Amino acid sequence: MRHPILALMLGGLSSAALAQAPELTVYTYSSFASEWGPGPKIEAAFEAQCHCDLKFVSLDDGVAILNRLRLEGRHSPADLVVGMDDAMLADARATGLFSPHGADLSALSLPGGWQDDTFVPFDYGYFAFVYDSSKLKNPPKSLKELVERPDLTILYQDPRTSTPGQGLLLWVKQVYGDQAAAAWQQLAKKTITVTKGWSEAYGMFLEGQADLVLSYTSSPAYHRLAENKQQYRAALFAEGHLPQIEVAARLKSAPHPELAQQFLQFMVSDQVQTLIPTGNWMYPVTQVALPEHFEQNELPAKTLSLSETQIQQGRKAWIQEWRQAVSR
């Protein structure tokens, strides 16, 4: 440009315009925000309609999101969180940090239905151990077999930071009840390591560090669809599987409450829901069509469930039980 001053002024103007676009801060877990997760596509789609700058802040995993919010309290810079799950609702509610979603959820078609004025579900799945069928020829057929068989090695996530880890905590509790501590001790012997988040554990599993990794029944679809690899399978357990519903919510202290509400509504729109199966490798919460490879996923014959009150009353004690059992 021949007029450098003009160029500077124009540059200044455009950056001023950018600076005026509000920045919507969303706390989520790392695999959601990563380049191969659904985060970037959701960000682009939402920014196209909101005239704002959507910023994902990625934390270790779902439970870590709530820990972070509790450490920040009402000073949190976040508007929204994406990636806590149904097992954390009671604890999350008790913090008093969240504000009603104000979104229209009539399009939801979750298996068990959904009634909640604060948390917006955006996907669901079933916890399961995933294995490589070309390496592990006789996978365990039940949680009991996994716990008892001495020849297996596993990777799972810390229940204090990660929602799958917390899911396993509830799963073991429901299957074993008072015997959970003994089961954890047996599991500890075959545990390669307990990771902070899902990404680390799954990454280590793919490197061949263990026979099985705690993930979801829908995880093998990723390998079929994205990598054209057929050998990964979810081990279906006779005791049944625990479902997980992942939720989003906005904070009372959100700097941009209207935009945050708009985003919550966006999370259950067809636009986002069609991204869920092949982005987050989970099931959508509305009736959007599933991709072909996804239909091949096996579904657990039986599902387990714990009530919000059960979890609220037991969680802390169960964490301590786990912590002590595996540290012996």
At closest approach, how far in Å is the CB of 70 from another protein?
Answer: 4
Query: Which of 54, 59, 172, 234 is the binder for another protein (CB under 8 A)?
Result: 59
SS3 of 211, please? coil
Whole-number Å distance between alpha carbons of 60 and 71: 15
Whole-number Å distance between alpha carbons of 244 and 218: 12
Asked if 193 is part of the footprint of another protein (rule: CB under 8 A), the reply reads yes
- Cα–Cα distance list, 243 to 66, 108, 200, 250 (Å): 20, 16, 22, 23
At closest approach, how far in Å is the CB of 270 from another protein?
Answer: 29
Query: Which of 14, 15, 67, 230 is the binder for another protein (CB under 8 A)?
Result: 67
Asked if 326 is part of the footprint of another protein (rule: CB under 8 A), the reply reads yes
At closest approach, how far in Å is the CB of 66 from another protein?
Answer: 8
199 or 215: CB nearest another protein: 199
| Residue 111 near residue 123 (C-beta atoms within 8 A) | no
What's the first-to-final CA gap in the chain, in angstroms? Answer: 71
At closest approach, how far in Å is the CB of 98 from another protein?
Answer: 16
Site string for another protein, 302-321 (x = CB under 8 A): -----------------xx-
Site string for another protein, 207-246 (x = CB under 8 A): xxx-------------------------------------
| Residue 276 near residue 124 (C-beta atoms within 8 A) | no
Specify the DSSP element, H or E, that contains 99: strand 98-99
Asked if 150 is part of the footprint of another protein (rule: CB under 8 A), the reply reads no
119 or 322: CB nearest another protein: 322
At closest approach, how far in Å is the CB of 213 from another protein?
Answer: 12
User: What's the full length of the chain, in residues?
Assistant: 328
Whole-number Å distance between alpha carbons of 225 and 239: 29
Query: Which of 204, 225, 290, 304 is the binder for another protein (CB under 8 A)?
Result: 204
Task: Kindly report the number of other CB atoms within 10 A of residue 138's CB atom.
Answer: 10
Whole-number Å distance between alpha carbons of 146 and 140: 5
| Residue 110 near residue 91 (C-beta atoms within 8 A) | no
Query: Which of 23, 43, 53, 72 is the binder for another protein (CB under 8 A)?
Result: 72
57 or 304: CB nearest another protein: 57
Query: Which of 158, 212, 266, 285 is the binder for another protein (CB under 8 A)?
Result: 158
At closest approach, how far in Å is the CB of 326 from another protein?
Answer: 6
Whole-number Å distance between alpha carbons of 277 and 297: 11
- Cα–Cα distance list, 6 to 17, 203, 241 (Å): 16, 51, 64
Query: Which of 163, 166, 195, 217 is the binder for another protein (CB under 8 A)?
Result: 195
- Cα–Cα distance list, 115 to 32, 62, 105, 269, 305 (Å): 25, 21, 9, 18, 16
Number of alpha carbons in the 13 Å side-chain half-sphere of residue 245 = 24
Whole-number Å distance between alpha carbons of 96 and 146: 39
192 or 288: CB nearest another protein: 192
Site string for another protein, 173-192 (x = CB under 8 A): ---------------x--xx
Question: Contact region for another protein (CB under 8 A) — 128-136, 167-175, 196-204, 288-296?
Answer: 196-204
Give contact residues for another protein (rule: CB under 8 A).
Answer: 57-59, 64, 66-68, 70-73, 75-77, 158, 160-161, 188, 191-196, 199-200, 203-204, 207-209, 319-320, 322-324, 326-328
